[in-house]
Chains A and B, each alone.
Chain A
Amino acid sequence: MSNNGKITLEIFRYHPETDTEPRFQSYEVPYDEDWVVLDAINWIKDHIDGTVTHRWSCRMGVCGSCGMMVNGEPKLTCAAFLKDYHPRAVKVEPLVNFPVERDLVVSMDGFMDKLDAVKPYIIRDDVNDTSEGEYLQSPAELARYKQFSMCINCMLCYAACPVVGHEEEFLGPAALALGHRYNKDSRDQGQSERMEVMLSDEAMWGCTFVGECSVVCPKHVDPAGAIQQAKAMGAQEYFKGFVMPRGAGG
């Protein structure tokens, strides 16, 4: 409950070294309509309880560090305004589908492994000497992948995706969208390497096109669309494989 000048935050607390199970702790903070949830959490940490642990950095929707569940929805807390919740209390939890390290901080290890698996960088068979200049790209070629390159790895899409919670092998929206982003890049020659990973078992096929990843994405990346495009490319590769048997990959 909160009055006009205050708002209550219910913060998920869990310190694995002392707590046997998670609990919620309520904090009353000053209400300012210009404040975002992250401001309120920072205020709690600075003025009430220094043991509250959370991750944040840029405060402007660029770094992707401050993703948390705000009243059950995955949000960047730097972009979730208190005025959208006031006078109700705001419940803040760590992103679901991730192991909790401490309070609002989740472990990113599994996510980083998945990101790494799709080789999210340009792969070239032949690398030009820098004296030869850049690899040129037309605006049309840029447009084919630009949207998918806007991902800030905030992991909101992993918290929104029901398949991520069910299927460990599933690479997840951000990693697949990023893999697709490089596959669509005219300067890249690593598609077959990436597809080797993306087409295995449930890595990509686990996606059932629920589409929540694209709904929660703060950068409007549309990972669900990327995965559908990648699936269509994958199906083409599969049938091409019968016509032209694959050589040693990579």
Chain B
Amino acid sequence: MSAGSGTGPGGGGPARRSGEAFWWALFSAGGVMAALFVPAFVIVTGFLLPAGDAAVASERAAAFAEAVGWWPVKVALLGVITLSFFHCMHRVRHLLMDVGLRRYAGALKLPCYGAALAASVWAAWVLLGI
């Protein structure tokens, strides 16, 4: 029972096309991003950059920071981060629907995707400052 009208399956009438395709596309793209790149980021920033000698590590970190300062890298990072946020919040929304909030499927969009958008704007703000 989503927020739309639309006749049920086999109802015969024209069913309303769902905007869910849009959110699913973000979810799907975010899933690819999160699976492919986020573990790599964790390994690089969490383990490889700070590894070994402190002086070498700080040099490495500085080089990394310089690379992140380059705008194409910022755009790519923002893409990965934004899509990952939307992936996460789409899943959270469906989880909430599954635990009994199904009739609020429509109303849940605002807080869920709003949170993903707000987090993305914050990420953009942080990236711009680098």
Contacts and interface: CB of A to CB of B under 8 A. Distances in A.
Given A114-B10, A168-B1, A201-B4, A162 B15 contact: no
A205 B25 CA distance: 11
Q: Is the interface of A mostly helix, strand, loop or mixed?
A: helix
Interface of A: 113-114, 116-117, 162-163, 166-169, 171, 175, 196-197, 199-203, 205, 208, 231-232, 234-235, 237-239
B10 A205 contact: no
B34 to A, nearest CB: 14
Contacts of A238: 17, 21-22, 25
Q: Is the interface of B mostly helix, strand, loop or mixed?
A: loop
A113 B10 CA distance: 5
Interface of B: 1-2, 4, 6, 8-11, 14-18, 20-22, 24-25, 28, 94, 97-98, 102, 105
A175 to B, nearest CB: 8
A248 to B, nearest CB: 10
B1 A169 contact: yes
Contacts of B8: 168-169
Contact of A208 (B9, B94, B105): B94
Given A201-B15, A235-B28, A162 B10 contact: no
B9 A197 contact: yes
A75 B20 CA distance: 33
Most central of A162, A167, A202, A232 by chain B CB within 10 Å? A202
A5 B32 CA distance: 55
A201 B1 CA distance: 9
B86 to A, nearest CB: 13
A239 B17 CA distance: 13
B5 to A, nearest CB: 8
Contact of A171 (B9, B20, B21, B102): B9
Nearest to A116: B10
Nearest to A199: B17
A196 B15 contact: yes
